[in-house]
A and B are shown apart, each in its own frame.
Chain A
């Protein structure tokens, strides 16, 4: 018998089925104890307990099956199976979700026991167990092929008493049907088994008014048919986009992404100005509640489209066909030096100079990488905007860690870290990165970051360790310099010693400061910011002080120098510089050093009793880094100058000479000789010149103990009569080389 209904949804009171009483009867004393024990177990331990239960009961079921299969002992299996059933029942009663594997065990045990009961002629027991199964799962079925027809029929008889059928069709189809809270199927479906009795049926479909019937009576064996027309409560709006892949946002919530291609049958309906091949398949906005909505369509590299949509009626609306406009800009990237690799948002795009003609509007991270450093900038590109970026490549400094001795309060250390980090962000001449300390230690290996500090390195560390570790770190992190802080055990002062190490250097610079001095860190950063000077102001005038005159007397005038061109002569007495009286030669020196090359400097000279003012155009002199100077950051100079060797080819030679001098100052004569000095060729003139290079080359050989080679090159240096060191006004190379020759000969 079936019942067909077509009616509007109505509310019916909720009445559920009563659990069979026999469950209460079948609880044995043993099962009760077990249930109590299980009930006492903590919820957290339930999972582990269930695993143990499953394993044990599986084993018991296996044993029970052995008995069951043996016709002589099948009846003995009943108790075995009973224990399994009862234990699982206790578990079910203890609360919490029961894993389906355990339920399945119970069902297996119930079926076997039912069959055992049946074979033993205990039909009551068999019936109870089959009914139990059916109550758990109204669609439970025996395998008729492996069982006797009698038992199958017996089972079906039980089923008929407990099971009815329900078939639901809805208009539209696709509704979800639940009976007594259990999902039954999606309309439209053929009759499915449900328990007899009063049932609560719920039919729901998004966008439609739901249907509930609390008093659906299911008769045993009868088919209950429901045929419903669902009342629409929402609107439906298809959206088609050009291109596909557009994110659809409704009232601020992302609801999906358009995709696919337009079905051929829809193409003819599209506006003629659209290319159907670029259109997506319709994206259905189902179940749009009635009312006003804000719809947003977003796709990277396209302009976001926003439009309001008002659903006045619960119906299908005409599809919105939307073509998104490109939102791209153009980015032109140049760098100094060029041929740097350009990455946009981590993706390699090419080498500078580079034109990127299709850059999506929005925020991007631009990285320009070169062996001597990189340039990083977060950029924002607008639609149709053309941007140009001239990227000065800068060295990168990795701030590795602050290492504290025992006894330094953690709070102090953290405070120092924060101050250091904040202050270093003001450093504009280098990129600053803060790598993870653990990662750094892994890269370096061995003693970790500590081993970069000579005083903290393990005594067994090989001499080349610092250089090699710095090179590993430099390569892995793509940095040119490393900064590490050491906080010694504190007494009254709060000292920090900062160690600045150029990648590839044998030893770091050491800079101690009292971090309580608020000017100390800014002073350090300023020191790092100061460029290493390669040139100084110079006018080519040597003066001496005497008691014979008020001002210094010109002892020598560099022929061709600025002072010579201005007409200064030996014997002139310098009376004033730029109008300020001069009484000492050092005053004149300071005045010159304070001028920029190219500036005009007026000198008042006294010659033979007459006064003459000349205008000197300040020139430049190459400079060497100061040697053996406390506080000079030689590693920082290495970083600076290695960079300048690449970006300023005009000074590559002088920069290379100075890098070599830095290495020599750090005791690494070998690197100076192998990597830098051979590449340096200066003019064969006076002042800092090729003679200077030869002198230092020979000196490096001398320090390495290669006296013969040193002597040979010192001898070559003697041919450069006018060569000097330090600056064009510095000591002459020839007497120095002669002195070193004597040293080499000893």
Chain B
């Protein structure tokens, strides 16, 4: 039906052009402008129609490459159909290699690879495509390509090279839309290289040069986080959090049986198991929403900020429950004791089932990919995913935190009960935007902080956590600026520490 409608549209457009005596290039331009307008209004079907008309019937016009680029971008950004995006972009490089859109095609091909990469192994291909943008001198995609090269290198852990790429954006294109982001990238990379002071300088520079940008806000979070952890120590002071008295959720009844607190851009999310609900509070502690959940056991926030609720027999993602099954001799066996769930950037869901005693990975369609990292039975208390897709597992038995790459390779292991931090009973783990790991000790109300390389940074004692504000913390999370949100079971309240 859709194809028939499209064909009719093509014929109508052609007839219209013939009757009006319009030159094909004029008509193509009009369709392009119309398509762009529809796209901006998010009327993607109409937009796609316009672009397809150009590609199909006016392939020789000077706008055909633009249309293809926009189609490719649609599939990439809207439908996230990487294969279709790639197909359209490849046409540009085959049929219009010298057009203005060719560097854009290379850029988006790089994006296709980047966004579809899970393990980091294809990031080199992404970088290669970004670099091909430079084959076309003085084209407008260069700053974007440089920036994306930086992000790809950053994800690969090549932080020095990432800084180089970001700096090229900053120095060579100081007024581009990518410059503020590049400054953040430099800052992040310096954080990962263990130079928080330089990182702070860069984040502040982002605020100074782009004071009204979205990046300025993000930089402020970074600065807060870093200064709290490093700046205070540079001053010879201990890292100290104080309780925010303004965060005082007013509820009809006290919170109880909170098993998870999670912070995201949309607020502070609290999972109450007995009451079977997920509540969301704003930064001032005001209740924003409350949603019923079916047998909820676990709560996480994915890379896009979506809540992932582990229900006993399903995982609720974006409000929709998804059930999972594993193969058995008797056929697919549904998971019935799901306790934890996290979702990665590409939509794979990692589910811990207490019956299976495994962390199982399912693709976005719900099909089992396999046990993660292997079939070894485990008792997992908490699962977290860092920004690059590594998984952190808090083992229930030994209370160790194991860090695993997306392929399941062991990256690090933190023995929480040993070392200078010596936690008595680790009950929860959280990650801040810098990738710093916070491990909560329930018994002594302490938090051990490790950097993104899993090196110990500091131990937050009861005194430094709000001056004894915590008695029996059972779950915590860290927001973008490093503030802590802790549920204290004794006080039956969410404590905001900043």
Contacts and interface: CB of A to CB of B under 8 A. Distances in A.
B175 A629 contact: yes
A662 B235 CA distance: 41
9 contacts: A544-B204, A547-B483, A555-B201, A555-B204, A556-B197, A570-B235, A571-B235, A630-B175, A735-B198
Interface string B456-498: 0000000000000000000000000101000000000000001
B235 A545 contact: no
A671 interface: no
B118 interface: no
B228 A546 contact: yes
B5 interface: no
A553 B161 CA distance: 30
Contacts of A586: 207-208, 211
Given A546-B220, A547-B498, 5 more contacts: A545-B204, A547-B220, A630-B175, A739-B163, A742-B160
Given A555-B231, A585-B207, A739-B164, A544 B175 contact: no
A546 B220 CA distance: 6
Contacts of A160: none
A24 interface: no
Interface in B263-311: none
Contacts of A589: 208
Interface in B23-43: none
Nearest to B190: A735
Q: Could you say which of B161, B173, B197, B227 has the most chain A C-beta atoms within 10 Å of its C-beta?
A: B227
A571 B231 CA distance: 8
A629 B200 contact: no
B231 to A, nearest CB: 7
Nearest to A743: B164
Contacts of A544: 200, 203-204, 223, 227, 231
Nearest to B219: A545
Interface in B154-199: 160-161, 163-164, 167, 171-175, 197-198
A732 to B, nearest CB: 8
A183 B207 CA distance: 102
A742 B161 CA distance: 9
Interface centre among A546, A571, A627, A742 (most CB of B within 10 A): A546
Nearest to A730: B205
A51 to B, nearest CB: 68
A252 B234 CA distance: 93
A553 B175 CA distance: 27
A626 B203 CA distance: 20
A542 interface: yes
A742 B158 CA distance: 13
A547 B234 CA distance: 18
A42 interface: no
The 8 closest A-B pairs by CB, nearest first: A571-B235, A546-B224, A547-B224, A544-B204, A546-B227, A586-B208, A546-B223, A739-B164
Interface string A629-641: 1100000000000
Interface string A540-578: 001111111000010110000000000000110000000
A535 interface: no
A548 B235 contact: no
Contacts of A65: none
B451 to A, nearest CB: 19
B375 to A, nearest CB: 44
Contacts of B227: 544, 546, 548, 553, 555
A555 B223 CA distance: 11
A69 to B, nearest CB: 92
Nearest to A556: B197
Nearest to A552: B204
B138 to A, nearest CB: 12
Nearest to A587: B211
A115 B173 CA distance: 106
Interface in A697-746: 735-736, 739, 742-743
